[in-house]
Every structure is written in structure tokens, then in C-alpha cells.
Structure 1
Amino acid sequence: MTQATTHTAVPEIDQRAVEALLWTALPHAKGHRLVLVHGRYREGAPGEFTTRLIKDATPEGEVEQYRVHVSHQSSVLGIVDAWQTHLAQHPGRGDVLVVTTDAPDTRPMPLDLRGEAIGRSLLAVDRVEIVKQRFGAIDVDARIRRQPWLPDALLAAEPPGGWLPVGSVLTLDAAMRALVHARIGLGDGVSTDAVPLDAEALLTWSRTSGGPDRFAELQPEEQTGLTHWLENVVGDVAPLLIALVQEGRGDDAMALGVVAAALTGPKATAEAALAVGALFGSGPFRPVVLRHYTRAVEGVLARWITQAQAGGPRSTEARTRVLEVLEQADRLADRAGLREALADSGFLPSGFRARLRSLAATLTARPAQKTVKAAEAALHQLRSHHLADLLFPEQVQLAEMAVRLQRWLTTPKADLPAGSGAVGAAVQAHLGDWGWADRALNRLWAGDGAMDPHVNEAYRVIHEAARARRDHLDRQFATALATWTKHATTTQPEGALLVEDVLRHIAAPLAAQRPPLILLLDGMSSAVAAQLGEELGAPRWIEAAPEAGRRSAAVAAIPSITTVSRATLLTGHLATGGQNIEKDGFAAFWRKRRHEAVLFHKADLPGPAGHRLAPEIVTALAGDGVVGVVLNTIDDALDHGQESSKGDWTVASVRYLSELLDAARGQGRPVVLVADHGHVLDRTTKGPLPAQGVESARWRIGPSNEKPGDDEVHLAGPRVLEGDGSITALWREDQRYTPRKAGYHGGASVAEMTVPVLVLLPSADILPTGWSLLSPEAVTPPWWHHEASRASTPTAPQPASPSRTAARKKAEPTRSDDAATALSLGAMVVDTGVYAAQKQFVRKGPEKKAVAAVIDALVAADGTLSLAAVSAAAASSGGRAPRNAEFFVAALQRLLNVEGYPVLGLIDAGARVKLDITLLKDQFGVKA
């Protein structure tokens, strides 16, 4: 507010400007009610209105209202007349008269009139000064004065509650942030680094319901000013986006950015460029700008996808935004004929489908190393699609299983060895290798119900090729089983672990350390065991086994049905019968070994209201006796035609399994996860096979002189507990004697006859003498992972026995300086001065030889191992495995992460350890 001069251009004034002037002038009015303003009141603006003034002097911020009358006069006489009229019409009231005038000379104005006017002069409207005061600032950025449209816009946009104070100086950035928020709803109006106004904010705004429309309603000068400022703040994304908004295409803005990738993709053509240009229409859409715009849009989409995958309250909103944009982009691409040019898009759903088709084209019934590599590359491309995990996790998993079967088909055919050891070798191979193929086959069969027919056909081809190989193995196994069954007994198992010996050879050694929980999952196949074992790995459980490097697998009793094989396992001898036989036999077995024991069945498990498990089970687990629990979930589901979703089983899908495992871990108990037999799934539309003497879906009692069919095998011997020691069983998985169910058992396939045994320890402290820890690397077949990882994923080192350790120590020569060049990288690291300095800060840290062994194991595995493998590597140096793998790795981090550099760290949610080998060498100054 300043005095006007005769040389000042006459500004146009509206109600908002008058109000802003009054808010500045009235606090200094001292009872005066006349305001003289140099300017012209805008035609059509209200002649009377009420304004409010907050009286700052009052602690409560009292609000005072003023009735304002506005009159425009072009002469001094007019001003005098307007004032006299106002006094006559509003005597004694507080109404304020504002007189705007464009009179060229107001010097003749009577002195008494000047005395009535606030400021005793003609006031000029300095919009910048008014804006400065409305923001509570003392000074103002000079750049604001150089943009005449900006003060007017700020005065017009001021919210009802006024502008938020900005500090002592009103900067251009603060003014513009406040303006874009108030005018078009962009940002939050706050000028802080914590709330960035970036490409993501601008692109998100373009999709709001009212923001773009509000921008279109602004005056051209204001639109231009806002666009220039946004370009300086956000980059060259802003002009392009604003141009789309001005054309009424704000909703298409992000989708167009996705489609514009056709300009830079591997299939970019001149025709594609023309099609993209036609989609964008007129505007500042140079190719380089479009490329920047596309990168910005893709960056925002990538962040939204990450938010959608992270869960939480904003994930659903982020997922919706992503889907809307990409579905819209797909429609635009179709409309413009850009589908082929965008086939490699990492964002479009159509791009994912195109990549899936490319992968399907690499699948063949007779794969070679070349085709496997092509499939690996195609799978990598499929996984790298941004929507792979968000929208298509099942399709990716299905593709992974297909590629895994491709790898499996390229491994050498594992024909069974001749002789008495064939059956034991077969069940071991099934648990460690063939069962993993079964797992992939089951998943591939289940499909996802919405596949491309070309992809479905490719999966069918690979499934049939793998199934044919499995049938060949089953035929070999059935032949070997028929011979083995004639003579095999507990005293002469001929190289196999028998189901009746599982308690004796597996559970009893564990009981010597700590009484175990024996969880019998009725019908658990090797495929199911592989999945459960993968889920139950570190850091919660440590897997162990009597033999180094492999899980235990037993041979079921014959026929492989519950009443035979389960009773045999739980009693520790060949037996048939139901729950009473099992309970009594289980207790008797352990009583002979001086352990109390109790066995629970399905009806014993449910607890009362508020309790998942029965109190009797909880009490038993808290005691000192051996506890056995039979879980029938898998067997019951198959029997009732209820195959698990996607053909697999998880810990959560087996009722009570998670609760029992948690209870056992809480009591420090080891767990023996065991089956009584395996199962096969129904994978055919064939009807039942006609036969005589049918007892069950997969076995029968036929005439003694009957020759078995091509899909059958005759089994007779001391281990056959039905049919007076002689039965006929099906070995082909796709045959049955009875009406259709989801799955079957009782036959002679290797899947039904294999009894998986998994041993889970809560701590390595209770590892029985002579046993070994098992890492995921040891129990997972190499072909299950990427081909490139085969050579770099070693079998995890195992703890050596005390006698071997002593012998090795005795045989080790004394190391001299001349032999230093032969040292491993681990040995070199722990012999450095840097390591010695680090060791001073780690109380009771691991021994040097254990650290060296872990480093060497990680180097051999290209820098990545599971927690269990790291523990086993430490134990291989001569001592016991670390009591707590996570604490051990934490100690290693303090030793190796010099000055905080991430030499060693945890990945995959803490399940695996990653060593940066190059950084390790740099930090410790070693060369190897």
C-alpha cells in the first residue's frame, strides 16, 4: 500500500484486491471509514460485500466484520459526493467506503476529505506488497515482481483461511507451490524437501478427477507461467504433460507414456514412430522429449508396482492405479496398431503374454543344452517383466516348472543299478531327484485356467515327455521291487531303510539328545516333502540326517496303504491294524528304550474354545516323553477328491502342522517329519481298469497263476502283509481299479513306495553324534535351479567326525611363509592385520579356522549360501556347528564388514548369506 502518483498506470481492481487492501489498511484505520484507491473497479464486481478482519492484538484472534461499499469516481467532485452520500446513508455505523478513482489529478481534493481517508492519501494497490503481507513475510523474492500475472493469481487463489506463513522471505518457489496447490490441486502447498513435487506427483495429478479441468479454466498467461515453473522443477516431462492436459487428455497421459516406448524398443520402426505421433497429436512432442517422458512414466509405474507388492493400506490403491494405466495403454496400442512394436514391453500385460509365448517356443520334448539355454533366457525375460510378481505370479511359477523339467530331461538317464541295492537306490533317488520332477509335473498339470492355447500346448508337450521318463523309471522300479520283495527283511534290508526301522534308526538317536516330536503326515509323497522342506528351512529350523548330504528315504510296507504301512512305522515292526494297534505299539517301542511315549490321532487334536490344540498335546510336548502325532490332511483330501490347490501342499494347508511345529520349537524338541507311504495323483480321464480280486484303487488279490498285466507287478514275500503274502499292484501312475478320486496309494510306483523322512532341529546343539547338517544346497537337485548355478552350487561341507578331525590335524604340515601362496582366500583373510584389528572388537567371536572355512565355502558357491550351509561350513573346520546360525552370521559381519562396508550380508529375508568377494579382497588387502 503506497501513495499513488499521476504517472502510475490505472490498474483494474476486483473485490479480492479490495479485500486484500482492506486487510492491510484497516488495522491502521483509527476509526476512519474512507479508503481512496488509485484504480478502476472491475465492471460487474459487487458494489457491497462483507469482509472479515482478524484482530491480531487479541490473544484469541477475535474476528471483526466490516460492511464494505465500493464506488468508482473519475473526479474529485465525484469522490466528495460519494463520501457525503455514504455518510448520509450510513450515519454512525462502521460501514467502510472504498472509492476507486482514475482521476488524473486529485490534488484539489479538500483537506477535510483527505483527513477522513485512511492514510490521508490516495492509495495505490501494490499487489506484491499485499501478497507478501498475506503470506506473513517481511521480504519478497524479486522474481515475483517480474511476473505480473503471479500476484494477481495469488490474490485470487488465496484460500478462505488465508495462506500459511512461509517465514521471513516469500520465495518464488514457495509462492508457486502454494499457488499450484490452491489453483489446480497439485502437491500439498508446502515448500519442503519431505514432500517432493516431482514427475510422480505431476503424473498422479494428471489422473485426478478435477485437477486437469481446473488448469484448463485458468487464464492463458497463468497457464504459461505455471508450465514454465513446473518445467524448471520437474523437468521436460511437465510441458508435454501440460500440453496433453490442455487438450483434455490428462487421463491418457500416463498410458501414452507407456505406449511411447515403441519409439525406443528393439522393434522400433518409422511406422511405429508415426503411429505414436498420431496418438500424441499436436504439441511439443519431439522424440527426445518423448523418450524422457516414457522413462519418467515407467519410473513412476515401477514405484507404484513396488508399493502394490509391499502390502499395507496403500497397496490396493497402487495396484488399481497400475492396472488402470496399463489396461488403458494396451487399448491405445491396439487402436494405433502398435501391438507388435510393443511386444517386448516390460510393463504392458500384452508384453508379458508375448514373453510367455516366446518362452513356450523354446520348450521341446527332446531338449538339448542349446534349447535349455534359450529357455533360460526366455524365463529370465519373463521374470524381469514388471508385472510378473504383481499380476502373474502363477504363470511365472508355471513357466519355471516347465523350464525345470526341460533341465531334468537333459540330465543323464538314471537307470537303476542291477542287484539287491536297486530298491534302496530308487527311493533315495526319488526323494532327492525324481520327486522334485513329480513336484514340477503336478504343478504343470494343474495349470492356471487362463492360458494362451499355444503356451498350453507347449506345456503339454514337456509334461508328456517328462511323464514318459518317469514311467520308464517306475517300470524299472517295479521290476526291482518284485525281486527285492521276495527276500527283504529287517535283518536283510539289502541296502534299503525299511519303514519299520525309521523309529530305530532316525528317531531313537534324536531321543538320546532330546525326545522328538514325530509328525506323521499320512500320504506325504516325496514331491510334498520337497516343498515342505523348502518352506521349513533356515532360520527357524536346521535340517539334519544320519548320512552326509542327503535326506533319509524308507521303503513302505506292502501294500502301501495306511492300515499296513502306518501301523508298521509306528510300532517298529511289520504290522497291520488301526489306531489302537498304533498307539499301543508306539508306546511299547519307546518303553523298551526307556522313554515314555504317547501317540495322538486326528480326533485327539482339536482344543477347546480359544485353543487350537488340545491341552493333552500341549502338556505332552512340555514333558519329557516322545510325542507322536498323525496328521491325515493329505490322505483324507485325496480320498475325498479334494486335491490341493495347484497340486502342492504348504505348511499352512496341512491342518495343525504349523501349530505343532511352533509348539515343538518352543520346547526345544527336534521334529521327525515322516510319511507312512506316498501317493500318486489322478492325471487321466480313463475309466477303471477291469480286474478280479480288487481290494483298493491300486492293488488287488488275483489268482495265483494269473500273469500280471503290462501295468501291473506281482509282489510276494515276507513284507507283503495282505493277500496271504501275495498281491498284484499297479506300477503305472495313470491306472486304477476303482472309481475316480483325487489321488491314490497302495500301488507299486516309486512315488507310493517311498517314505520321506525329514529331521528338523531347533538348534545344532542337539545334533546326534555322527549325524550331519543338511543345507538347502545339499538336498535340492542342481537342475532345479538355473543352469548357470550348477557348477557353482556345491554340496554343503559337513561336520567331520572327531576321529577324522584329529587325523587331519595330525597330518597337516606346519605352514611356512613359502607356502603362503597356496593358502585359500579364507585363510589369507584371517591372517591379515586388518582381521586381527577387527577381532579385537568381537568378544568370543568364532575361531579363525571356522571363519576361513565359511569364506572358502561362499567363494566356491559364487558368494551365496543358505544359513544352514554356512553353519555346516563352519562345522567342517573341525568343531560343532554354530548353536545359532543367525548369531554366527552377525559375528561374521562384525569381523568382515570393515568400516561398515557391506562385505557380508543377509538376503532373501534372512534365509541366505551373500559375500561380496571383490569387496572382501579390497578391504583386507589380499589377492587370490
Structure 2
Amino acid sequence: MSALRLTVPAVKQYLLSSKRRTVFADGKREVVLLRSAPQWDGPADVDLGGGRRIRVVAAVSVLAIHELVLDHLAGQDGPAVLVVLTDQEPSDLDQAILARTHRYRIHAVDGWKVVQDKFGASAVDPRLRALPWAAEALLDATPPEGWPQVPGGVLSSRTALSLLAQRRLRLGRYAPADEPADATGIDVHALLRWSLRDGAPATLLSLRAPERDGLTAFLGEDDQAGTAARALLALVAAGHGPDAVPFGLVCAALWRHAPLDAGTLRAQGRAERWFGDEPPASGTAFDELVGAFGRACEEFVVSVRDGTVLRRAATLTRQFAAETAARHSPVLDEGLAARFATLGAALKTLDAMRSDAALRDLADHRRADEPGAKPRIGRAAMAVRLVRWLGTEPSADIPTVGAGIERHITETGWVDRALTHLTVGDPELQAAYDRIAGRVRERRTAIDRSFALAIAAGPGPALTAGTFPDRVVRPLTTGRSARRVLLVLLTGTDAASAAEAADELRREWAEFDPVPNSSGSTPRRRGMWADGTPHLPEPVGDLAAALDDPERPVVVVRDEGRLDGLAALLRAAADRDRAVLLTGAPAAPPDGLAGAAVPVLAFLPFGADPPKGWRELGDQRPAWWRDEAPPPPARPRSRRRPVPPPGAAPLFDVAAPDPVDALLASEIFTGQLELVARKPSLAKFRTAVQALLDDGTLPVTALAQRIGLPASRAPGFAAILAQVLNYDGAQVLERLPDGRTVRLNRALLREQFEL
């Protein structure tokens, strides 16, 4: 075995051990021969402390040893002790020369003993001892503060090599101050970050070949940085370390995302040559290795958002003629641009299903939430919603003023809200936006003409500015369940901006229908006809004093900024147990439905007892507005309905059964109900399921209110309902992340209960 290359720490440690301090005992000039590779990278003179100094010289031949020994013993200058590093055998030396050295022999340094002492260990892992380069490397890389101690323990191969890699590459506990410090190990993201550091790949290449190869093999182990690291370090060895991460994005496009056609194969061949003359794998193993490396680079770039890497990746894409593959990438700019183009083509067709699929694909791009893309995708989502609305073939018929107001609050106001987003320029999609906007405006104009004819017949029973105080405000402030009210007048607020405000407020507040239910209608967001200004108390100046005044049942405040400060106003009202109504009047004279329909919103804090007649609302977004993912596939059922024999015909033509009736009559539902200890009445089940079928999504308190339960029992009832409906583990009734809302999956309900 070749001699160990000694370092300054190893030489100092050896000479300062108790057995060897005699060399300094009487101050005589001494020569110490140490077995070592004849190399010395340290200073000529080494200070051992305590006034003791030595001179260290490497001797590459027997003649050099003879000259060094004789010259030192005859001289008077320099340190008294000379250390000669040599790989010669004692038998090769003149015995007369050997007799004049310390203890008449060539001393062997046990590098592993020194390493063991450096770590404060009781033993060294045999697997570590088996690495001929490791002891020298650990001694050479010893930090000024020393290695972390493992007192009384075994120095394991994993611990030693992990610390050595961190020290050599300046990773983990030895990383620069501006990088994450992980003292427990090295992962692939740490190595990818390291490869982007100026000059970092060169630090690995500068190591001696045995150590470089050993660390490369260690870092590529599965319990270290794994397969992706093997690809990265192969690129470093091939001289492409600084470009490894952007190159990895190109690899991901070629090996993971692009269809495997002739063009892709040619580009893969060009890229493969970047791994050097000896790639880290071949055949299928190489494909798997490059795929893993590409995936790691994508995840890393998405987490750090490095524009420089993406720009370099674009250059490499052109270099390898991989532009077509890059269009399939979920990370590269080319992939994002391709998905926008696909969506634009789909929108021009006014095909809702095709547009939905293209929008989902665009939103799935890993950089869809970046500042440059997120607003554009938001506008694209509005365009897709309008395509869905057009796909419903909306009727232009408005029979009464009340029907027009209700329709605007629940439908056309949302259309107007989406339409405003298409006026912002987007060169790549503007042609599609203009086509959609033109078709929507045609339909909206027809609806407004119909509404104008309805106005000629008078408002009828519709809620109007004139009847609003008597129908909405007065019932709140009178009678046995009187409640004080804060009424916020939002100047210039239309249904579109009111829906936007309500979406924001519903994150922290419960929304209600404030009109008492006298006709059994479903609770909904309300609006009134702007035929004038409601007769209400004058807005107050000192809001805090007015809210505290028990003689003021109704406090009116005008918010000239429309939606500014609404959350603060609601908090102030909630602190004083006041119900909150928000309404207003358009800033301009009524012009069509958008100008004539004034929203009426009502809010309370979550869990607050509502005023008499108020009913909590569920999700008020129209079905065509919601961007919900398709339901997950149901598990295959083991039971099947009886199939009539061929040619058999039913005895009677009957209508399809009501879905709630079919559910309650099913054997599966009956079996699920038997599992519940305290069963609510079937009537409550019926009402709850019907409400969820109608709304899809409801707060649990709103669901409880629909079936006549107090809010305090809402969570318990929702849990029982989920226990019954979530048959076989399928999430038919799902609780949303806010913890207070449930959503019914209609398709899964039909599948699981065989309706």
C-alpha cells in the first residue's frame, strides 16, 4: 500500500504525543524520519507551541535523505529538529546514516489513530479504514476549530465522509453565511445550490483523484444525495458544473415531458454527450438517472425562483435544438408560453370543455403563481368562465323587475365582473378575449332590453330603495328580537364589485340573507331596484360614539372609498353586537341591469346568533363561475343492479326518481344509518342532502340552520352526515380546509349509493 501523505496536523499530532516528546528533551539537533509520500504542502518551519519548532522536508530518494541528515547534524541554523518525509525502505538506507537518526529507524505514523483522536472517538468504523485515501483527507481538511467530537463512540463512515464533503465543498455546517446550514447531511438541493456558486465545482475538481472519486461515490449513494447527485457530479467532472442546473431543466423536458419522437431522440443524443466520455450509466439506467436529475432540478428551480438559471436554460434549449421538447416543460418559459397559446386557441372556439382543459393545464405549470404569470392566468380564468356562461345559452327573457334584479345579483352581475377583466391588454390572448367579449355584450344587451320592457310594467313586489327600510331594516330593529344595526352605504357599488367584496369578507365572516322567508324560497344574496335613495337616518360623523349609543338602533356610515375599510367597520360592529348591512347606490343614473340593481349584503361574525329571519348563505358563485376540479373516480362497486334479459321491456314508463328519495330508499344508505348511534330524523337528513344538492357547498352552521338545528349542534350533525355518506371511505361529503364548510360531491354520491 502506498505511503500516507502527511499534513501539518498529522505531523504535529505525532510529534506531540507523549512517547515522542523525548526528541526535544536535551535540545540536541535531531533528525526524525517519517514514512510518508514524499510531498509537503505545509510551511518549511512548523511551530509546535511551547517554544518548540521543527523543520519539515520531503526526500524523494536515498541520496536526498543522506544529504539532509548530514547537512542538518553538521549545521547550526534553523530549528534543532528536522523531520524528513520519505517513502524509502530502511533496508535501502546506509546503516551508518540510519544510526544517526532519532531511534535509528523510519517512524510510521498511524493516520487512523490521529483521526480517531481528532474526533474524540473510541474506535473507527472498519468501512472507513478500508478507504485508503480517507485518513489523509480527514487530517488535511481538519477545520481550525477541530472536527465535531464523538466522545466515547465509534467514528462511522457516514459521519466522517459527510463532514469531509461538507468541509471540502463548503456545505452544511461549513456553508457560507448566506446559505442554509444543515449539519445533519447533504441533500441534492444543497448540491444543486452549490453548483451555482461561483467557482464551487472547481473545488471538487481540485482535490486529489482518490479523494475526489471517493467523495463522488459517497455523495451519489441512495442515503445521501442519490441518483440525481451522480448525474450532477458527472457533469462537474465533464466541466459543465456551472451549467448543471439549467441543463437539468432541458433534460427534464427531453426525458420526462416530451413525446418520444425522432426529434426528441436526436436532442437526447446531443445532450447525452455533455456527460463526458464516460457517462455515469448506460441504457435504461441512464434514462432513469437523467430523469431523476431533471426532476430534482425542476423542484429546485421552482423553490428558488432563479431567473438567471431559466435564461441560461433557454440558451441551452436552442444549443441542443430542444425547442419542441421545451414546449412540454412545466417549468421552462417555453412551456408556459405554449400553454397560453393552447388556451388562446381553445378560447377562440368558444368550446367550454376544451377551454377548461387548457386552463387547468396552464394552471398546473409550476411557475403559474409567479408575478408575471398569475395576473394573466386570472384574466384567462375569467374568459373561460364567460365561455362557460355562453355555453349555458342564457335566455334574454326578463319577465318582471324582481326577476331581473335577482338574476343580476346571481348571474349577470358575475358576468359583468368577469367582463371587466378582459379589457386589460394581453397581446397573445387579446384576439380571443375580443371575440368572447363581443358575444357576451351581445347577450347582455339583449337582457338589458328585456329588463327595460319589464320596468315599464312597474316594480311589482321587488325589493326597492323605497321599500328597503320597511322590509329589511325595520324588522331587525323592532319586536322581541330587536337587534341594533350598522348600515354601510357603499357609493358606486354594483353587483360585480359587491360580489368581489363579499368573496373577501366571507373568509372571516358569515354571510346571510336578510329578507325574512315568507314564501319558502331558498336563501340567496339580495338586491334592490335603485328607484331612488332609501329613507334612512343621516350618516354619522363620530362612528365609535354612534355605535355605542343605545338610542341609535340604526347607525348609517358612508364609505366613499367603496370597499376600503370594510373589515374594520365589521369588526367595530361585531364588538358591539350589531348586525351589519351593506348596500348603496350606483354613482351614475341607472343604465340597464348593472345600474338598476343595488346589492344588499348582510354579515355576522362566525358563530354569532343571527337576527330573527336571517338565513346563512352558502357559496353564492354561479355553477359556471366555479373552477372546481373534476371529482375523483369512484371505487368500483362489487354489487350490480339486476340487468333485464335481452329483449325484455319495462312494464311501465316511469320518470326518474327524486335523487334524495332514491338515496334514502337505498340499501347502502340504510346500512350506513344503522352504524350511527344517535340517529337524526330522516326528515333532517332529507332536508340537509337536498340543501347540499342545491348549493354544493355550505357552511356547517348554514346547513344546521336549514334543518332547524342551533349553530352549536352544527359540527356534530355534519360529522354524522359525513359518517353516513362517506361510504367505503369515499369523500362524498368533504370538509374544506377552513374547517367550517362542507362540499357534496354529487357524482360520487350517485356512484357510491348506486342511484
Shorter-chain TM-score bucket reads 0.7 to 0.9
Partners of 1:130 and 1:427 in 2: how far apart? 88
* Contact 1:431–1:553, Cα closer than 8 Å, also in 2: yes
* Contact 2:505–2:567, Cα closer than 8 Å, also in 1: no
Partners of 1:27 and 1:541 in 2: how far apart? 83
Partners of 1:47 and 1:789 in 2: how far apart? 71
Aligned counterpart for 1:273 among listed residues 256, 265, 283: 265
For residues 903 and 272 of structure 1, do their structure 2 counterparts lie closer, same or farther at Cα, with a shift above 3 Å needed?
A: closer
Match of 1:139 in 2: 123
Letter in 2 for 1:273: L
For residues 632 and 265 of structure 1, do their structure 2 counterparts lie closer, same or farther at Cα, with a shift above 3 Å needed?
A: same
| 1:770 Cα deviation after fit | 4.1
* Contact 1:199–1:296, Cα closer than 8 Å, also in 2: no
Instruction: Report the 3-state secondary structure (helix = DSSP H, G, I; strand = E; otherwise coil) of the residue aligned with 1:758.
Output: strand
Partners of 1:821 and 1:749 in 2: how far apart? 46
For residues 361 and 71 of structure 1, do their structure 2 counterparts lie closer, same or farther at Cα, with a shift above 3 Å needed?
A: closer
Match of 2:476 in 1: 510
Match of 1:208 in 2: 197
Aligned counterpart for 2:238 among listed residues 240, 247, 261: 247
Match of 1:874 in 2: 704
| 1:395 Cα deviation after fit | 1.4
| 1:927 Cα deviation after fit | 10
For residues 293 and 202 of structure 1, do their structure 2 counterparts lie closer, same or farther at Cα, with a shift above 3 Å needed?
A: farther
| 1:536 Cα deviation after fit | 1.8
Match of 1:466 in 2: 440
Matched, 1:631 2:605: no
Match of 2:214 in 1: 225
Q: Which moved more, 1:339-348 or 1:31-40?
A: 31-40
Matches within 5 A, 1:290-309: 290-299=287-296, 301-302=298-299, 305=302
Match of 1:569 in 2: 534
Partners of 2:535 and 2:299 in 1: how far apart? 54
Q: Provide the alpha-carbon RMSD of the alignment.
A: 4.3
For residues 43 and 404 of structure 1, do their structure 2 counterparts lie closer, same or farther at Cα, with a shift above 3 Å needed?
A: closer
* Contact 1:183–1:214, Cα closer than 8 Å, also in 2: yes
Match of 1:39 in 2: 35
Instruction: Report the 3-state secondary structure (helix = DSSP H, G, I; strand = E; otherwise coil) of the residue aligned with 1:373.
Output: helix
Aligned counterpart for 1:475 among listed residues 428, 434, 449: 449
Letter in 2 for 1:865: T
Matched, 1:68 2:34: no
Q: Which moved more, 1:126-135 or 1:434-443?
A: 126-135
Match of 1:49 in 2: 45
Letter in 2 for 1:202: L
* Contact 1:388–1:396, Cα closer than 8 Å, also in 2: yes
Identity %, equivalent residues:
29
User: TM-score, normalised on structure 2?
Assistant: 0.80
Aligned counterpart for 2:394 among listed residues 406, 413, 420: 413
Match of 2:500 in 1: 531
* Contact 2:115–2:135, Cα closer than 8 Å, also in 1: yes
User: TM-score, normalised on structure 1?
Assistant: 0.66
Match of 1:784 in 2: 625
For residues 71 and 301 of structure 1, do their structure 2 counterparts lie closer, same or farther at Cα, with a shift above 3 Å needed?
A: closer
Partners of 2:145 and 2:31 in 1: how far apart? 24
* Contact 1:853–1:877, Cα closer than 8 Å, also in 2: no
Matches within 5 A, 1:4-403: 13-24=6-17, 32=25, 36-39=32-35, 42=38, 48-52=44-48, 64=50, 66-70=52-56, 84-85=73-74, 96-100=81-85, 102=88, 104-105=90-91, 122-167=106-151, 168-188=153-173, 195-232=184-221, 233-260=224-251, 261-282=253-274, 283=276, 284=279, 286=282, 288=284, 289-299=286-296, 301-302=298-299, 305=302, 318-319=304-305, 321=306, 323-364=307-348, 367=350, 371-391=351-371, 392-403=373-384
Partners of 1:861 and 1:139 in 2: how far apart? 72
For residues 902 and 821 of structure 1, do their structure 2 counterparts lie closer, same or farther at Cα, with a shift above 3 Å needed?
A: closer
Letter in 2 for 1:66: R
1:811-837: per-residue Cα shift (whole Å, max 9, x none)?
A: xxxxxxxx99826977754532xx43x
* Contact 1:551–1:758, Cα closer than 8 Å, also in 2: yes
Matches within 5 A, 1:815-834: 822=665, 829=672, 831-832=674-675
* Contact 1:407–1:787, Cα closer than 8 Å, also in 2: no
Gap regions ≥5 residues in structure 1:
1-7, 54-63, 308-317, 558-564, 572-581, 584-598, 606-613, 635-653, 680-744, 793-818, 840-845
Partners of 1:820 and 1:525 in 2: how far apart? 41
Instruction: Report the 3-state secondary structure (helix = DSSP H, G, I; strand = E; otherwise coil) of the residue aligned with 1:188.
Output: helix
Instruction: Report the 3-state secondary structure (helix = DSSP H, G, I; strand = E; otherwise coil) of the residue aligned with 1:42.
Output: coil
* Contact 2:249–2:313, Cα closer than 8 Å, also in 1: yes
* Contact 2:165–2:171, Cα closer than 8 Å, also in 1: yes
Partners of 1:111 and 1:403 in 2: how far apart? 92
* Contact 1:854–1:873, Cα closer than 8 Å, also in 2: no
For residues 497 and 828 of structure 1, do their structure 2 counterparts lie closer, same or farther at Cα, with a shift above 3 Å needed?
A: farther
Matched, 1:457 2:437: no
* Contact 2:513–2:523, Cα closer than 8 Å, also in 1: no
1:683-740: per-residue Cα shift (whole Å, max 9, x none)?
A: xxxxxxxxxxxxxxxxxxxxxxxxxxxxxxxxxxxxxxxxxxxxxxxxxxxxxxxxxx
Instruction: Report the 3-state secondary structure (helix = DSSP H, G, I; strand = E; otherwise coil) of the residue aligned with 2:582.
Output: strand
Q: Which moved more, 1:220-229 or 1:623-632?
A: 623-632
| 1:425 Cα deviation after fit | 0.9
Partners of 1:219 and 1:530 in 2: how far apart? 68
Matches within 5 A, 1:715-734: none
Letter in 2 for 1:156: D
* Contact 2:31–2:69, Cα closer than 8 Å, also in 1: no
Gap regions ≥5 residues in structure 2:
176-180, 634-661
* Contact 1:858–1:915, Cα closer than 8 Å, also in 2: no
| 1:169 Cα deviation after fit | 1.4
* Contact 1:824–1:856, Cα closer than 8 Å, also in 2: no
| 1:255 Cα deviation after fit | 1.4
Aligned counterpart for 1:668 among listed residues 570, 573, 577: 577
1:127-167: per-residue Cα shift (whole Å, max 9, x none)?
A: 22222222222211222333222222222222222211235
Instruction: Report the 3-state secondary structure (helix = DSSP H, G, I; strand = E; otherwise coil) of the residue aligned with 2:144.
Output: coil
* Contact 1:477–1:749, Cα closer than 8 Å, also in 2: yes
Letter in 2 for 1:750: L
| 1:171 Cα deviation after fit | 1.7
Instruction: Report the 3-state secondary structure (helix = DSSP H, G, I; strand = E; otherwise coil) of the residue aligned with 2:487.
Output: strand
Partners of 1:457 and 1:918 in 2: how far apart? 36
Match of 2:654 in 1: none
For residues 325 and 83 of structure 1, do their structure 2 counterparts lie closer, same or farther at Cα, with a shift above 3 Å needed?
A: closer
Match of 1:696 in 2: none
| Larger relative contact order (CA 8 Å, sep ≥ 6) | 1
| 1:212 Cα deviation after fit | 0.6
1:263-296: per-residue Cα shift (whole Å, max 9, x none)?
A: 3434332222322432453431746434443444
| 1:45 Cα deviation after fit | 5.0
Partners of 2:43 and 2:560 in 1: how far apart? 87
* Contact 2:235–2:244, Cα closer than 8 Å, also in 1: yes
Matched, 1:426 2:404: yes
1:57-78: per-residue Cα shift (whole Å, max 9, x none)?
A: xxxxxxx563222356859987
Partners of 1:382 and 1:671 in 2: how far apart? 40
| 1:383 Cα deviation after fit | 1.2
Instruction: Report the 3-state secondary structure (helix = DSSP H, G, I; strand = E; otherwise coil) of the residue aligned with 1:341.
Output: helix
Partners of 2:606 and 2:143 in 1: how far apart? 65
Match of 1:616 in 2: 545
1:407-446: per-residue Cα shift (whole Å, max 9, x none)?
A: 111213323344xxx111111111110000001001122x
* Contact 2:7–2:136, Cα closer than 8 Å, also in 1: no
Instruction: Report the 3-state secondary structure (helix = DSSP H, G, I; strand = E; otherwise coil) of the residue aligned with 2:325.
Output: coil
